[in-house]
Chain A
Amino acid sequence: MTPIAVGGLGIAVLLAALFVRVPIGVALGVVSIGGIWILRGPTAAFGSLGTLPYEFSASWVLSALPMFLLMGAFAYHLKLTDGLYSAARVWFGNLPGGLAIASNFACATFAAASGSSVATTAAMGRLAIPEMLRIGYDKGLATGVVAAAGTLGALIPPSVAFVIYGWYAEVAVDKLLISGILPGLLTAGVYAAMIVIRVRADPTLAPAPRLQEPLREKIRLLADVWPLPVLIASVVGSIYSGAATATEAAAVGALAALLVGLMRARQGVSATASAVRAAIAESLRTTSSIFFIIIGAVLFTRFLALTGVPGFLAATFNAAELGPLALVLVLVAVYVLLGMFLDPIGVMMLTLPILIPVCKQTGMDLIWIGVLVVKLVEVGMLTPPVGLHCFVVKSIVGDQVPLNTIFRGVSWFLMAEVLILALLVAFPAISLTLPRMME
């Protein structure tokens, strides 16, 4: 059997293992060790397993990952995110579809602080969806906006997905984080515009809530949430200005979230201590489970490199003279397909070992590709049949809204995503302008 055939067989076995409930990290690792054994023998296979997990985990660059997770966990558990929806509601509520637009921007801010799109969907869904349903919003719109806007967290910094991609692709993580700002804002803007257009065309979708809060109350609600945007802006600002690396900014962000949370704590000492402990435990468990998958992916990369599959695919693309655009279209198709079944980290770790060598050999900009990859894996959180965000929303609304209504509501945002993706592909400058200005 040729090495490329072994590589192809390995990929097939990996996919089969995933579909029979083998954990992603285990499947990647077992297939890789088996493949390396076949190609190079047991000494090479177990040699990798003994040294590689420690050596890649003992990483300064990757320490940004637990620090960003800790920042998000502190922001959530110490209730820095609590007033977001109330503030967004009074400021955007009187626009057409105002509560949906408020949910959209509140999700964007929450996601930027927490770095977790699933946590954003769960937290904002509990606040926003019941109110939208109560005043008669279309069920699809009310649920769809929360499910879709949760995905903004992966693009707007700090973003765990960008840290992982940057480390893997050997691209500067600070530039990657900054590259996600404009695509993230573009997404939030297109979502808001789509909501306004739909509600203008059919006002029954979103009855006006008649909010008449005095300006003083509006400012009070805004003042209540000011630390969060300031925290996010200071993290992003320090990276952009070069004052701190992404790793340093992540640690300072976590420390600042803790200090601000402690200063504003309205609960007792014991409850605050519990919240701090819960935040630390949550970020540690998430860190460890993500790294377990990455260890498998690193082994998988080594296995694929031995097979020559990435080089073979790159040569095939070059020989076919398809050009970068065709490669990007293939990328979109593959990610949308895998995103229907797998979670974002899993999709990234399965595909990057093949994608990055191909992109390097074809001379594509890895920052631009990173933005597209992160965008696409988050779109996968909305697409049926798995569409994790839709199931999170379903768990909140219970029997009030059928699952197919949620997917129908999300379909409008997926159509918006087609436009956003087309813009990101057609105009790489949207992704690359800010990182280039850092140079």
Chain B
Amino acid sequence: MLVERLPAALRGLSRACLVVAGVAIAAMMLHVGADIAGKALFGRSLGGTIEMVSGWYMPACVFLPLVAVQQHRGQLIVEFATQTLGPRKRALLDGLAAALGCAYVGAMVYTGAHEAWTQTAIGERTNSSVFDFPVWPTRWFPVLGGAGMAAWLALQSLSDLAFAVTGRVMERPDETLERL
């Protein structure tokens, strides 16, 4: 069953995305550090730092970890008004909120994929005339991260709504992943 296999696949996606984003954040730190050291010691910049940071590192750091954020339900919510509700009522609200989130992120993925396809077709490159390199592949980062996030939201919505309706504690998808 897809619903049974999906969490394991998503966990792998989450880990892979975090690894790529981890490489990007480390590279950003080293690249900017080397650029400053070059300016301070040799009076010369590495060049292309701003373009690499904005065109490659930042999209990776921002969008790829979205899968891991949603895997652990890491989005900020306001809990104050619903603290006194019972677990089933809270699960109902969480399930509906996750369904809404899935629709929103799904729309972001759909429109983002359209934009990514357009930029891929024209081979989007940096705006700089001095440091000219392709950036179109990073247009797919929001699509990839968003798709993983939407899939988690769908699974979490199903799990929460099932608990709200039946009262039986199902294996929550995120907890299933924690065990695997």
Binding site for B on A (CB under 8 A): 18-26, 29-30, 33, 46-47, 49-51, 53-54, 57-60, 62-63, 66-67, 70, 244, 247-248, 251-252, 254-255, 258, 277, 280-281, 283-285, 287-289, 291-293, 341-343, 345-346, 385-386
Q: How large is the interface on B (under 10, 10 to 19, 20 to 34, 35 or more residues)?
A: 35 or more
Q: Would B53 and A33 count as touching, CB distance under 8 A? A: no
- Give the segment of B4-12, B24-32, B162-170, B172-180 that binds chain A: B24-32
Distance of B145 from chain A, by nearest CB (Å): 8
In contact, B54 and A255 (Cβ under 8 angstroms): no
A289 and B75 form a contact (CB under 8 A): yes
C-alpha gap A292/B101 in the complex (Å):
12
Chain B hits for A252, CB < 8 A: 32-33, 36
Question: Distance (Å) between the CB of A78 and the closest chain B CB?
Answer: 14
CA of A49 to CA of B107 in the docked complex: distance in angstroms?
8
Q: Closest approach, in angstroms, between the C-beta of A426 and any C-beta of chain B?
A: 32
CA–CA, A288 to B115, complex, Å? 21
Note all chain B residues with C-beta closer than 8 A to A51: 115
Query: A-facing mask of B72-107, CB < 8 A → 1, else 0?
Result: 101111111110000000100110110011011101
CB distance from B101 to the nearest CB of A (A): 4
**Contact of B104 with A26 in the complex, beta carbons under 8 Å:** yes
A58-B59 contact given A46-B107, A292-B75, A386-B80, CB 8 Å threshold? yes
User: Within the complex, what minimum Cβ distance (angstroms) separates B18 from chain A?
Assistant: 6
Does B62 have its Cβ within 8 Å of any Cβ on chain A? Answer: yes
A288 & B80 in contact (Cβ 8 Å cutoff): no
Whether B46 is near chain A, meaning CB under 8 Å from some CB there, is no
A54 with B139: CB separation less than 8 A:
yes
* A20–B90 CA distance with the chains assembled, in angstroms: 9
Could you tell me the distance in whole angstroms from the C-beta of B116 to the nearest C-beta in chain A? 8
User: Can you add 17 more A-B contacts, CB < 8 Å, to A23-B76, A23-B77, A289-B76?
Assistant: A21-B78, A21-B90, A21-B93, A30-B104, A33-B104, A47-B111, A49-B112, A54-B142, A57-B59, A58-B54, A248-B35, A251-B29, A283-B25, A287-B65, A292-B75, A293-B76, A341-B81
Given A26-B75, A292-B75, is A67 in contact with B28 using a C-beta cutoff of 8 Å?
yes
- Contact yes or no, B93 A20, CB < 8 A: yes
* Other-chain contact of A285, B55, B69, B76 (Cβ < 8 Å): B69
A14 CB → nearest B CB, Å: 11
Contacts of B80 in A (CB 8 A): 19, 341, 385-386
A283–B69 Cα distance when bound, in Å, is 11
Is B63 among interface residues, defined by CB-CB distance under 8 A? yes
- Closest A residue, CB atoms, query B51: A60
Main secondary structure of the interface of B (DSSP, over half): helix
B76 A346 Cβ-Cβ under 8 A: yes
Which chain B residues border A49 with CB–CB below 8 Å? Answer: 107-108, 111-112
Task: Please measure, in the bound complex, the distance between the C-alpha atom of A135 and the C-alpha atom of B78, giving whole angstroms.
Answer: 37
Given the interface contacts A57-B63, A63-B53, does A30 sit within 8 Å of B76 by beta carbon?
A: no
Instruction: Tell me if B66 counts as interface (CB < 8 A to partner A).
Output: yes
Chain A to chain B contacts (Cβ below 8 Å), 12 pairs: A20-B82, A20-B93, A21-B77, A21-B94, A22-B77, A50-B108, A53-B63, A54-B138, A59-B58, A60-B53, A281-B68, A288-B69
For B75, the chain A residues whose CB sits under 8 A away are: 23-26, 289, 292
User: Considering only CB atoms, which chain B residue lies closest to A281 in the complex?
Assistant: B18
Q: Are A251 and B97 in contact (CB under 8 A)?
A: no
Contact call A50/B111, Cβ cutoff below 8 A: yes
CA distance A19 to B75 in the complex (A): 15
Q: Are A22 and B58 in contact (CB under 8 A)?
A: no
Q: Is A284's CB under 8 angstroms from B104's CB?
A: no
- Nearest A residue to B60 by beta-carbon distance? A284
**Is residue B137 within 8 Å, beta carbon to beta carbon, of the partner chain?**
no
Whole-angstrom distance between the Cβ of A20 and the nearest chain B Cβ: 5
Given contacts A23-B97, A60-B50, A288-B69, contact A50 B115 (CB under 8 A): yes
The docked-state distance in angstroms from the alpha carbon of A23 to that of B94 is 9
Task: Return the chain B residue nearest A21 by Cβ.
Answer: B93
Q: A20-B93, A63-B57, A287-B61 are in contact. Are A244 and B111 (CB under 8 A)?
A: no
Q: B residues within 8 A CB of A281?
A: 18, 22, 68
Nearest CB of A to B137, in Å: 12
CA distance A254 to B29 in the complex (A): 7
Chain A residues with CB under 8 A of B44: none
Among B29, B35, B55, the residue within 8 A (CB) of A70 is: B29
Which residue of chain A is the closest to B116 with respect to CB atoms?
A54
Max count, chain B CB within 10 A of own CB: residue among A20, A25, A54, A67: A54
The residue in chain B whose Cβ has the minimal distance to the Cβ of A61 is B54
B16 to chain A, nearest CB (A): 13
